[in-house]
Structure 1
Amino acid sequence: MAVFSGTDKQAMKRPHVGRSFFVELEFPDGTRRYHNGVGRVTVGGHDWLGVEDPIGGMMVGISEVEDPRFGTAAAIEITLAGLTYEFVKSVRSISRDLEGRAAEVYWAMFDPETQTPIVSLTKLFPGGSITAPRWEGSLLERKITLTIESVFDAENFPLGTTWSDIAQQQRYAGDRGLEFMGREILTTRK
Protein backbone atom coordinates (compact mmCIF):
# COMPACT_ATOMS: atom_id res chain seq x y z
CA MET A 1 0.00 0.00 0.00
CA ALA A 2 1.03 3.63 -0.42
CA VAL A 3 3.54 5.11 2.02
CA PHE A 4 3.71 8.90 2.37
CA SER A 5 6.62 10.95 3.68
CA GLY A 6 6.26 13.63 6.34
CA THR A 7 6.50 16.31 3.63
CA ASP A 8 3.69 14.65 1.67
CA LYS A 9 1.50 14.48 4.77
CA GLN A 10 2.04 18.20 5.43
CA ALA A 11 1.13 19.01 1.81
CA MET A 12 -2.09 16.98 2.13
CA LYS A 13 -3.18 19.17 5.07
CA ARG A 14 -3.34 22.28 2.87
CA PRO A 15 -6.79 23.86 2.64
CA HIS A 16 -7.11 23.61 -1.17
CA VAL A 17 -5.82 20.49 -2.87
CA GLY A 18 -7.07 18.29 -5.67
CA ARG A 19 -6.48 14.56 -5.96
CA SER A 20 -6.34 12.51 -9.12
CA PHE A 21 -6.14 8.83 -9.87
CA PHE A 22 -4.03 7.43 -12.69
CA VAL A 23 -4.17 3.94 -14.15
CA GLU A 24 -1.70 2.24 -16.46
CA LEU A 25 -3.31 -0.68 -18.32
CA GLU A 26 -1.73 -3.35 -20.48
CA PHE A 27 -4.17 -3.81 -23.36
CA PRO A 28 -3.64 -6.41 -26.12
CA ASP A 29 -2.45 -3.64 -28.46
CA GLY A 30 -0.11 -1.92 -25.97
CA THR A 31 0.08 0.14 -22.77
CA ARG A 32 -2.50 2.87 -22.18
CA ARG A 33 -2.47 5.50 -19.47
CA TYR A 34 -5.59 7.26 -18.19
CA HIS A 35 -6.50 9.69 -15.43
CA ASN A 36 -9.89 10.52 -13.94
CA GLY A 37 -10.00 14.09 -15.19
CA VAL A 38 -10.46 16.02 -18.43
CA GLY A 39 -7.85 16.37 -21.18
CA ARG A 40 -4.22 15.27 -21.35
CA VAL A 41 -1.86 15.58 -18.39
CA THR A 42 1.88 14.93 -18.26
CA VAL A 43 2.92 13.48 -14.90
CA GLY A 44 5.87 11.26 -14.04
CA GLY A 45 7.28 11.54 -17.56
CA HIS A 46 4.18 10.06 -19.24
CA ASP A 47 1.12 11.50 -20.96
CA TRP A 48 -2.17 10.45 -19.33
CA LEU A 49 -5.47 10.74 -21.20
CA GLY A 50 -8.51 12.03 -19.28
CA VAL A 51 -11.60 9.84 -19.35
CA GLU A 52 -14.18 12.33 -18.10
CA ASP A 53 -16.22 14.32 -20.58
CA PRO A 54 -19.03 16.09 -18.70
CA ILE A 55 -20.37 17.73 -21.88
CA GLY A 56 -20.42 14.42 -23.76
CA GLY A 57 -21.95 12.63 -20.77
CA MET A 58 -19.05 10.23 -20.20
CA MET A 59 -18.08 10.02 -16.55
CA VAL A 60 -15.81 7.80 -14.48
CA GLY A 61 -16.32 6.52 -10.96
CA ILE A 62 -13.49 5.13 -8.85
CA SER A 63 -14.19 3.13 -5.71
CA GLU A 64 -12.20 3.28 -2.50
CA VAL A 65 -9.47 0.68 -2.03
CA GLU A 66 -10.89 -1.58 0.66
CA ASP A 67 -8.71 -3.07 3.37
CA PRO A 68 -8.15 -6.73 2.45
CA ARG A 69 -9.73 -9.38 4.64
CA PHE A 70 -9.11 -13.12 4.58
CA GLY A 71 -10.72 -14.49 1.43
CA THR A 72 -10.79 -11.13 -0.37
CA ALA A 73 -8.26 -9.01 -2.22
CA ALA A 74 -7.40 -5.34 -2.09
CA ALA A 75 -9.13 -4.03 -5.18
CA ILE A 76 -10.31 -0.85 -6.84
CA GLU A 77 -13.25 -0.62 -9.24
CA ILE A 78 -13.23 1.78 -12.18
CA THR A 79 -16.63 2.40 -13.73
CA LEU A 80 -17.10 4.21 -17.03
CA ALA A 81 -20.62 5.49 -17.73
CA GLY A 82 -22.28 7.24 -20.65
CA LEU A 83 -20.57 5.02 -23.21
CA THR A 84 -21.36 4.63 -26.88
CA TYR A 85 -22.57 1.30 -28.18
CA GLU A 86 -19.42 0.98 -30.32
CA PHE A 87 -17.15 1.38 -27.27
CA VAL A 88 -19.06 -1.25 -25.27
CA LYS A 89 -18.91 -3.59 -28.27
CA SER A 90 -15.14 -3.09 -28.58
CA VAL A 91 -14.59 -3.92 -24.89
CA ARG A 92 -16.75 -7.04 -25.20
CA SER A 93 -14.67 -8.20 -28.16
CA ILE A 94 -11.40 -8.05 -26.13
CA SER A 95 -12.78 -8.93 -22.67
CA ARG A 96 -11.16 -12.38 -22.59
CA ASP A 97 -7.81 -10.86 -23.57
CA LEU A 98 -8.09 -8.22 -20.80
CA GLU A 99 -8.49 -10.63 -17.90
CA GLY A 100 -5.25 -11.10 -15.96
CA ARG A 101 -3.35 -8.33 -17.74
CA ALA A 102 -1.13 -5.99 -15.75
CA ALA A 103 -2.57 -2.78 -14.31
CA GLU A 104 -1.01 -0.22 -12.00
CA VAL A 105 -3.05 2.31 -10.06
CA TYR A 106 -1.43 5.57 -8.96
CA TRP A 107 -2.57 8.56 -6.98
CA ALA A 108 -1.33 12.16 -7.05
CA MET A 109 -2.27 15.49 -5.49
CA PHE A 110 -2.26 18.86 -7.25
CA ASP A 111 -2.57 22.53 -6.44
CA PRO A 112 -5.90 23.31 -8.16
CA GLU A 113 -4.91 26.89 -9.04
CA THR A 114 -1.54 26.21 -10.67
CA GLN A 115 -2.11 22.53 -11.65
CA THR A 116 1.34 21.68 -10.29
CA PRO A 117 1.86 18.40 -8.44
CA ILE A 118 2.02 18.68 -4.65
CA VAL A 119 2.45 14.94 -4.07
CA SER A 120 3.93 13.08 -7.05
CA LEU A 121 2.65 9.76 -8.43
CA THR A 122 2.33 7.21 -5.66
CA LYS A 123 1.50 3.57 -6.39
CA LEU A 124 -1.60 2.50 -4.45
CA PHE A 125 -0.76 -1.20 -4.29
CA PRO A 126 1.83 -3.44 -5.92
CA GLY A 127 1.35 -5.70 -8.91
CA GLY A 128 -2.22 -5.08 -10.00
CA SER A 129 -4.10 -7.18 -12.52
CA ILE A 130 -7.39 -6.69 -14.36
CA THR A 131 -10.32 -8.99 -13.70
CA ALA A 132 -12.94 -9.67 -16.37
CA PRO A 133 -14.84 -6.47 -17.27
CA ARG A 134 -18.51 -6.25 -16.30
CA TRP A 135 -21.05 -4.31 -18.32
CA GLU A 136 -24.62 -3.37 -17.68
CA GLY A 137 -27.24 -1.06 -19.01
CA SER A 138 -29.89 -0.55 -21.63
CA LEU A 139 -30.05 1.13 -25.03
CA LEU A 140 -29.93 4.56 -23.39
CA GLU A 141 -27.60 3.99 -20.45
CA ARG A 142 -24.46 1.85 -20.61
CA LYS A 143 -21.55 1.35 -18.24
CA ILE A 144 -18.49 -0.88 -17.91
CA THR A 145 -16.67 -1.75 -14.68
CA LEU A 146 -13.06 -2.90 -14.53
CA THR A 147 -11.76 -4.28 -11.24
CA ILE A 148 -8.04 -4.07 -10.54
CA GLU A 149 -6.76 -6.36 -7.79
CA SER A 150 -3.40 -6.53 -6.10
CA VAL A 151 -1.94 -9.89 -7.08
CA PHE A 152 -0.33 -10.41 -3.67
CA ASP A 153 -3.57 -9.83 -1.80
CA ALA A 154 -5.49 -11.92 -4.32
CA GLU A 155 -3.37 -14.82 -3.10
CA ASN A 156 -4.24 -13.87 0.52
CA PHE A 157 -0.54 -13.55 1.16
CA PRO A 158 0.31 -10.00 2.23
CA LEU A 159 3.67 -8.81 0.94
CA GLY A 160 6.54 -9.08 3.44
CA THR A 161 5.04 -11.72 5.75
CA THR A 162 5.35 -15.47 6.16
CA TRP A 163 2.92 -18.33 6.56
CA SER A 164 3.49 -19.10 10.21
CA ASP A 165 1.47 -19.02 13.41
CA ILE A 166 3.34 -15.94 14.63
CA ALA A 167 2.74 -14.00 11.39
CA GLN A 168 -0.94 -15.03 11.42
CA GLN A 169 -1.29 -13.84 15.02
CA GLN A 170 0.22 -10.49 14.00
CA ARG A 171 -2.26 -10.14 11.13
CA TYR A 172 -5.32 -11.45 12.99
CA ALA A 173 -4.96 -11.55 16.78
CA GLY A 174 -6.59 -14.61 18.31
CA ASP A 175 -6.71 -16.67 15.09
CA ARG A 176 -5.45 -20.17 15.83
CA GLY A 177 -5.71 -21.53 12.28
CA LEU A 178 -1.95 -21.97 11.68
CA GLU A 179 -0.79 -23.14 15.11
CA PHE A 180 -0.19 -26.69 13.87
CA MET A 181 1.78 -25.65 10.78
CA GLY A 182 5.13 -27.43 10.54
CA ARG A 183 4.31 -29.89 13.33
CA GLU A 184 3.83 -33.60 13.09
CA ILE A 185 0.25 -34.50 13.90
CA LEU A 186 -0.72 -37.96 15.07
CA THR A 187 -4.26 -39.19 15.18
CA THR A 188 -5.07 -41.76 17.85
CA ARG A 189 -8.16 -43.88 17.43
CA LYS A 190 -9.71 -45.81 20.25
Structure 2
Amino acid sequence: MSLFPETIALALAGGKPECANLVKFDFASETVRLWTGHGPLETNDGALWLGTGELGGMSGIEQAVNGQAPEGTFTLSAVDADIMRLARDEFAEEVRGRIARVYIQFFGVDDPDDPDNQRPLDNPYPVWAGRMLTPTFAFDAGGERSVTISAESLFSLRSRPRHAMYTDRDQQHRFPGDRGFEFVGSLVNKVLTWPDW
Protein backbone atom coordinates (compact mmCIF):
# COMPACT_ATOMS: atom_id res chain seq x y z
CA MET A 1 0.00 0.00 0.00
CA SER A 2 1.38 3.40 -0.94
CA LEU A 3 1.83 6.29 1.46
CA PHE A 4 -0.34 8.78 -0.47
CA PRO A 5 -2.85 6.72 -2.51
CA GLU A 6 -5.20 9.60 -3.42
CA THR A 7 -2.35 11.94 -4.37
CA ILE A 8 -0.66 9.29 -6.51
CA ALA A 9 -3.97 8.40 -8.19
CA LEU A 10 -4.55 12.06 -9.09
CA ALA A 11 -1.02 12.41 -10.50
CA LEU A 12 -1.38 9.21 -12.56
CA ALA A 13 -4.70 10.48 -13.92
CA GLY A 14 -2.99 13.63 -15.22
CA GLY A 15 -3.94 15.94 -12.34
CA LYS A 16 -1.57 18.36 -10.68
CA PRO A 17 -1.28 17.81 -6.90
CA GLU A 18 -0.23 20.78 -4.79
CA CYS A 19 0.81 20.90 -1.15
CA ALA A 20 0.78 23.23 1.84
CA ASN A 21 2.42 23.21 5.25
CA LEU A 22 0.46 22.68 8.45
CA VAL A 23 1.81 23.38 11.95
CA LYS A 24 0.43 21.94 15.18
CA PHE A 25 1.49 23.67 18.43
CA ASP A 26 0.95 21.56 21.54
CA PHE A 27 0.56 24.39 24.06
CA ALA A 28 -0.12 23.53 27.71
CA SER A 29 -3.73 24.77 27.75
CA GLU A 30 -4.75 23.85 24.19
CA THR A 31 -3.56 22.58 20.83
CA VAL A 32 -3.39 25.20 18.08
CA ARG A 33 -3.43 24.13 14.42
CA LEU A 34 -2.36 26.56 11.69
CA TRP A 35 -1.75 26.26 7.96
CA THR A 36 -0.12 28.49 5.37
CA GLY A 37 -3.27 29.08 3.33
CA HIS A 38 -6.30 31.33 3.76
CA GLY A 39 -9.36 30.55 5.86
CA PRO A 40 -10.15 27.40 7.83
CA LEU A 41 -9.15 23.99 6.49
CA GLU A 42 -10.68 20.69 7.55
CA THR A 43 -8.39 17.78 6.74
CA ASN A 44 -9.51 14.22 6.08
CA ASP A 45 -8.68 13.19 9.66
CA GLY A 46 -11.33 15.64 10.94
CA ALA A 47 -8.92 18.27 12.34
CA LEU A 48 -9.59 21.97 11.77
CA TRP A 49 -6.64 24.22 10.83
CA LEU A 50 -6.77 28.03 10.85
CA GLY A 51 -5.17 29.85 7.91
CA THR A 52 -2.40 32.39 8.51
CA GLY A 53 -2.06 33.49 4.88
CA GLU A 54 0.85 35.90 4.46
CA LEU A 55 0.94 36.66 8.21
CA GLY A 56 2.61 33.39 9.19
CA GLY A 57 5.99 32.01 8.23
CA MET A 58 8.54 29.37 9.18
CA SER A 59 12.14 28.56 8.42
CA GLY A 60 14.78 25.99 9.33
CA ILE A 61 12.41 23.07 8.79
CA GLU A 62 14.85 20.68 7.19
CA GLN A 63 16.23 17.21 7.55
CA ALA A 64 19.03 16.70 10.03
CA VAL A 65 22.17 15.73 8.09
CA ASN A 66 25.85 15.29 9.02
CA GLY A 67 24.99 15.05 12.71
CA GLN A 68 23.49 18.56 12.79
CA ALA A 69 20.00 19.32 14.01
CA PRO A 70 18.76 22.62 12.51
CA GLU A 71 16.66 24.98 14.59
CA GLY A 72 13.23 25.86 13.26
CA THR A 73 11.51 29.21 13.68
CA PHE A 74 7.82 30.10 13.48
CA THR A 75 6.78 33.74 12.99
CA LEU A 76 3.39 35.39 13.28
CA SER A 77 3.19 38.97 12.02
CA ALA A 78 0.67 41.78 12.52
CA VAL A 79 -0.19 40.71 16.06
CA ASP A 80 -1.87 43.03 18.52
CA ALA A 81 -0.58 44.18 21.91
CA ASP A 82 -2.56 41.50 23.79
CA ILE A 83 -0.87 38.67 21.89
CA MET A 84 2.53 40.28 22.48
CA ARG A 85 1.79 40.50 26.20
CA LEU A 86 0.61 36.88 26.37
CA ALA A 87 3.67 35.68 24.46
CA ARG A 88 5.94 37.56 26.86
CA ASP A 89 4.22 36.87 30.19
CA GLU A 90 2.90 33.33 29.74
CA PHE A 91 5.53 31.78 27.48
CA ALA A 92 7.41 29.87 30.20
CA GLU A 93 4.45 27.91 31.57
CA GLU A 94 2.39 27.74 28.36
CA VAL A 95 4.93 27.11 25.59
CA ARG A 96 8.55 26.46 26.63
CA GLY A 97 9.53 22.82 26.16
CA ARG A 98 6.27 21.92 24.39
CA ILE A 99 6.23 20.22 20.98
CA ALA A 100 5.60 21.84 17.58
CA ARG A 101 4.93 19.53 14.63
CA VAL A 102 5.04 20.35 10.92
CA TYR A 103 2.99 18.41 8.36
CA ILE A 104 2.50 18.51 4.61
CA GLN A 105 -0.98 18.30 3.13
CA PHE A 106 -1.61 17.50 -0.53
CA PHE A 107 -4.44 19.11 -2.55
CA GLY A 108 -5.60 18.83 -6.11
CA VAL A 109 -9.35 18.25 -6.43
CA ASP A 110 -11.47 21.37 -6.95
CA ASP A 111 -14.04 21.84 -4.20
CA PRO A 112 -17.45 22.82 -5.65
CA ASP A 113 -18.57 24.15 -2.24
CA ASP A 114 -15.57 26.50 -2.10
CA PRO A 115 -14.44 27.57 -5.60
CA ASP A 116 -11.37 29.40 -4.23
CA ASN A 117 -10.05 26.29 -2.51
CA GLN A 118 -9.28 22.63 -3.12
CA ARG A 119 -10.12 19.52 -1.17
CA PRO A 120 -7.32 17.78 0.78
CA LEU A 121 -5.96 14.49 -0.51
CA ASP A 122 -4.97 11.81 1.99
CA ASN A 123 -4.16 12.71 5.61
CA PRO A 124 -1.57 15.26 6.76
CA TYR A 125 1.90 13.71 6.82
CA PRO A 126 4.35 14.66 9.63
CA VAL A 127 7.74 15.87 8.37
CA TRP A 128 9.33 17.62 11.37
CA ALA A 129 8.98 17.97 15.15
CA GLY A 130 10.74 20.24 17.59
CA ARG A 131 10.73 21.45 21.17
CA MET A 132 9.85 25.15 21.50
CA LEU A 133 12.55 27.21 23.22
CA THR A 134 12.31 31.01 23.30
CA PRO A 135 10.25 33.84 21.82
CA THR A 136 11.62 36.96 20.17
CA PHE A 137 9.67 40.11 19.45
CA ALA A 138 10.06 42.64 16.66
CA PHE A 139 8.60 46.00 15.69
CA ASP A 140 9.08 47.39 12.21
CA ALA A 141 9.21 51.06 11.20
CA GLY A 142 5.46 51.13 10.61
CA GLY A 143 4.72 49.84 14.12
CA GLU A 144 3.78 46.33 13.02
CA ARG A 145 4.50 43.71 15.70
CA SER A 146 5.66 40.13 15.18
CA VAL A 147 6.41 37.18 17.45
CA THR A 148 8.92 34.45 16.54
CA ILE A 149 9.25 31.16 18.40
CA SER A 150 12.40 29.09 17.95
CA ALA A 151 12.30 25.30 18.28
CA GLU A 152 15.10 22.76 18.40
CA SER A 153 14.66 19.58 16.43
CA LEU A 154 13.97 16.49 18.52
CA PHE A 155 17.01 15.03 16.77
CA SER A 156 19.24 17.44 18.72
CA LEU A 157 18.79 15.40 21.93
CA ARG A 158 19.73 12.07 20.36
CA SER A 159 23.13 11.73 22.05
CA ARG A 160 22.15 12.98 25.51
CA PRO A 161 21.32 10.25 28.03
CA ARG A 162 18.02 10.70 29.82
CA HIS A 163 18.86 12.15 33.25
CA ALA A 164 22.09 10.15 33.48
CA MET A 165 25.79 10.26 32.66
CA TYR A 166 27.92 7.41 31.34
CA THR A 167 30.29 7.58 34.33
CA ASP A 168 31.27 5.19 37.08
CA ARG A 169 30.10 7.63 39.76
CA ASP A 170 26.61 7.90 38.24
CA GLN A 171 26.41 4.13 37.80
CA GLN A 172 27.48 3.53 41.42
CA HIS A 173 24.82 5.98 42.59
CA ARG A 174 22.14 4.07 40.69
CA PHE A 175 23.43 0.51 41.17
CA PRO A 176 26.00 0.21 44.01
CA GLY A 177 28.67 -2.38 43.27
CA ASP A 178 28.03 -2.48 39.51
CA ARG A 179 31.35 -2.19 37.66
CA GLY A 180 29.92 -1.71 34.14
CA PHE A 181 31.25 1.86 33.76
CA GLU A 182 34.41 1.49 35.84
CA PHE A 183 36.82 1.83 32.89
CA VAL A 184 34.90 4.34 30.73
CA GLY A 185 37.32 7.16 31.57
CA SER A 186 40.35 5.11 30.52
CA LEU A 187 38.81 4.30 27.12
CA VAL A 188 38.82 7.91 25.84
CA ASN A 189 41.25 8.13 22.86
CA LYS A 190 42.50 4.59 23.55
CA VAL A 191 43.95 2.72 20.55
CA LEU A 192 42.99 -0.95 20.36
CA THR A 193 44.69 -3.47 18.10
CA TRP A 194 42.34 -6.13 16.84
CA PRO A 195 42.72 -8.96 16.27
CA ASP A 196 45.58 -9.34 18.74
CA TRP A 197 47.44 -12.60 17.87
Q: Compare 62-71 and 18-27 and name the one that shifted more.
A: 62-71
CA deviation map 1:164-187 (0-9, x unaligned):
xxxxxxxxxxxxxxxxx999438x
- Name stretches of at least 5 consecutive residues in structure 2 with no aligned partner: 112-117, 160-183, 192-197
Q: Which residue of 2 aligns with 1:101?
A: 98
Which structure would you say has the larger Rg? 2
Deviation of 1:36 after TM superposition, in Å, equals 1.7
Aligned equivalents of 2:8, 2:71: Cα separation in 1: 24
Q: Which residue of 1 aligns with 2:75?
A: 79
Deviation of 1:74 after TM superposition, in Å, equals 3.7
Deviation of 1:120 after TM superposition, in Å, equals 2.6
Aligned AA (2:131)? S
Change (3 A) 1:12 1:36: farther
Change (3 A) 1:6 1:90: closer
Change (3 A) 1:12 1:136: farther
Aligned equivalents of 1:112, 1:60: Cα separation in 2: 25
RMSD: 3.2
Change (3 A) 1:46 1:92: same
Change (3 A) 1:6 1:96: closer
Aligned AA (2:92)? R
Q: Which residue of 2 aligns with 1:60?
A: 56
Change (3 A) 1:5 1:51: same
Change (3 A) 1:149 1:9: farther
Deviation of 1:100 after TM superposition, in Å, equals 0.6
Aligned equivalents of 1:143, 1:183: Cα separation in 2: 52
Change (3 A) 1:9 1:65: farther
- Name stretches of at least 5 consecutive residues in structure 1 with no aligned partner: 158-180
Contact persistence 1:11–1:119 (CA under 8 A): no
Aligned equivalents of 1:111, 1:65: Cα separation in 2: 24
Deviation of 1:18 after TM superposition, in Å, equals 3.0
1:121 matches 2:118: no
Matches within 5 A, 1:174-185: 184=187, 185=190
- Taking structure 1 as the reference length, the TM-score comes to 0.65
Contact persistence 1:26–1:102 (CA under 8 A): yes
Contact persistence 2:108–2:120 (CA under 8 A): yes
Deviation of 1:12 after TM superposition, in Å, equals 6.5
Q: Which residue of 1 aligns with 2:108?
A: 111
